[in-house]
Structure 1
Amino acid sequence: MTMISKITPCLWFDHQAEEAANFYVSIFKNSRITEISRYSEVGQEQHGRPAGSVMVVEFELEGHRFTGLNGGPHFTLSPAISFQIDCADQAEVDYFWEKLGEGGPVEAQQCGWVQDKFGLSWQVVPSILRDLTKDLSDPRCKRAFGAMMQMKKLDIAELKKAYEG
């Protein structure tokens, strides 16, 4: 079911919005492309896109609405904006890390963050991390936080081990 929201993230792509939407929909369950709009000859002097080419792709991931815009090379995605995935267990962490990181830059992987091949950053985070790092005045939380800072993909067993000392 679609969540009705006043706010929908719009992701700016050069020309890969449909490819990116298909990629994301293939990874997340309960996801779908809801609409594709195409450029026309109207406004071509501004947008410079061939009539009939994809302009906007609207899609849902786990009930959350997104828009992908083929706006040209003027702007690019940045790690300053990321989407956090709350993972129930290590299998989920591993799944999203592998799928989203496929083709993305390895150097952008750190502390549970992975960048996909389109430049979008994702935080692949086990739910338990909040409990393991919530009070950095607690030596156990400090140890878990320190362990997390050394990781690329987060490892729940290692985080718990650090927490327990």
Structure 2
Amino acid sequence: MHVPELRTGDAGPGPRGSLFTVEFELEGQQFVALNGGPHFKFNEAISIAVTCETQEEVDELWSKLTADGGSEGRCGWLKDRFGLSWQIVPSALPRLLQHPDPATAARVMQAMMQMKKLDIARLEEAAR
């Protein structure tokens, strides 16, 4: 049975009629979110990773997700206005970090560690 959202009844948890679960889709991936109430808050143990092909995609997602109270983290991580952690990762990053030359991979890692929003051109420059 497909239920896009479920609201609480008289037995709770939470006030009657409050949102308990909701189903949604991002880029073809199905998710179910559970309202944990004040007892269960978001933390970095759970994040949504998004792979981007271009710097424009990275920039757009970064801007939208940090807007209205979101915050930047290090190494491509951010929190949206609700406190949910996201990883905005250019598709070039894994390739560069797995370079056959360990010194090249180390330079890429060092460059990434200095960034908040990941910059594909700077990562590729570090690899050269």
TM range (shorter): 0.7 to 0.9
Q: Give the total of aligned pairs.
A: 125
Work out which of the residue numbers 95, 104, 109 in structure 2 matches 1:131: 95
Query: C-alpha displacement at 1:146, in angstroms?
Result: 0.6
1:104 matched to 2:70? The reply is yes
Tell me which amino acid in the other structure corresponds to 2:50: I
Does structure 1 retain, via aligned residues, the 8 Å contact 2:8–2:14?
Answer: no
Give unmatched runs, 5+ long, in structure 2.
none
Q: TM-score, normalised by structure 1?
A: 0.69
Does structure 2 retain, via aligned residues, the 8 Å contact 1:136–1:142?
Answer: no
**1:3-152 correspondence runs (5 A):** 35-41=4-10, 43-44=11-12, 47-49=13-15, 51-102=16-67, 103-106=69-72, 109-135=73-99, 138-152=102-116
Does structure 1 retain, via aligned residues, the 8 Å contact 2:50–2:88?
Answer: yes
Give unmatched runs, 5+ long, in structure 1.
1-33
Tell me which amino acid in the other structure corresponds to 2:98: K
Query: C-alpha displacement at 1:123, in angstroms?
Result: 0.8
Query: C-alpha displacement at 1:53, in angstroms?
Result: 2.2
What RMSD over aligned residues (CA atoms) do the two structures have, in Å?
1.7
Change beyond 3 A, Cα 1:132–1:48: closer
Q: 1:3 — aligned with what?
A: none
Q: 1:11 — aligned with what?
A: none
Query: C-alpha displacement at 1:91, in angstroms?
Result: 0.5
Tell me which amino acid in the other structure corresponds to 2:82: F
Does structure 2 retain, via aligned residues, the 8 Å contact 1:113–1:123?
Answer: yes
Q: Match of 1:79, SS?
A: coil
Structure 1: how far apart are the matches of 2:100 and 2:47?
A: 24
Query: C-alpha displacement at 1:135, in angstroms?
Result: 4.2
Structure 1: how far apart are the matches of 2:47 and 2:14?
A: 29
